[in-house]
Amino acid sequence: MLKAKGKTVCLKPDSGRGGEGFRIIRGSKDSIKDLFGHLSHEMAYEDVYEILLTVPRFDSLIVMEYLEGYEYSIDCLAFNGKLLAAVPRKKAGGRIRSLENVPELMQIALEINQELNIPYVFNIQVKYSKGVPKLLEINPRMSGGLHISSLSGINFPYLAVKLLTTGGADVPVPNLRVTATYIEKSVVLS
């Protein structure tokens, strides 16, 4: 149905984390590109179909429209129904993340807070498609990328504990002009 409407289709397991099992379905095989090109999340429809036929059962899949634009996580801090901070974090390619002041994302955070009244730290994920933000998910918990959002000057975990234990906290104005990355490093455990 999505393909018939000219949409790009993607799928992922309904139990996966992050990008595990995420695939973009393209129309046909391109054997030379598949063999010599960069590793990709793309697969031909025929390949997906043939693989699924080889097993008697598989976990449930979510099949949906692939959204072509940038993805943002909005890390939020709220208390007693009031949104105290919202930090939009853009996945800018690879491991690069940019904290940005995007008014429509701030408005989305405000409206979700007003509607759901999630206390302390929560996360909203949106992805743009043709300039329109589409809601992916709302997580009533800290996000995996919160350490990057904390570079804004908002120490989300500390402020959440302070709000919980004292009922108040001085929340600074976040610096939303930060671009950052992270490096994985080997650590000897024994």
Chain Cα centroid distance, residue 46: 28
The whole-number pLDDT of residue 80 equals 97
pTM of the model: 0.80
Q: In terms of domains, do 42 and 99 share one?
A: no
For residue 190, being part of any structural domain is answered with no
pLDDT tops 70 at residue 71? yes
18-51 confidence digits (pLDDT tens) = 678 888 888 766 666 666 766 678 888 888 888 8
pLDDT at residue 29 in the model: 67
Number of domains in the chain: 2
Q: Which residue has the higher pLDDT, 24 or 171?
A: 171
Question: Is 111 in the same domain as 133?
Answer: yes
186, part of any domain: no
Average pLDDT of span 88-105 = 95
Q: Where are the beta strands (DSSP E) in the chain?
A: 9-13, 23-26, 42-44, 61-65, 71-79, 82-91, 97-99, 120-129, 132-139, 178-180
Range of the domain at 34: 3-65
Query: What is the rounded average pLDDT for all residues in the chain?
Result: 90
Domain presence at residue 162:
yes
Q: Establish if 188 belongs to a structural domain.
A: no
- Residues 133, 160 share a domain: yes
**175 inside domain:** yes
> Which of the listed residues 38, 65, 92 is the one where a domain comes to its end?
65
- The answer to whether residue 165 scores a pLDDT higher than 70 is yes
The answer, yes or no, to whether residue 172 has pLDDT greater than 70, is yes
**60 and 78 together in one domain:** no
pLDDT at 15: 82
Assess whether 52 and 78 both reside in one domain: no
pLDDT at site 37: 66
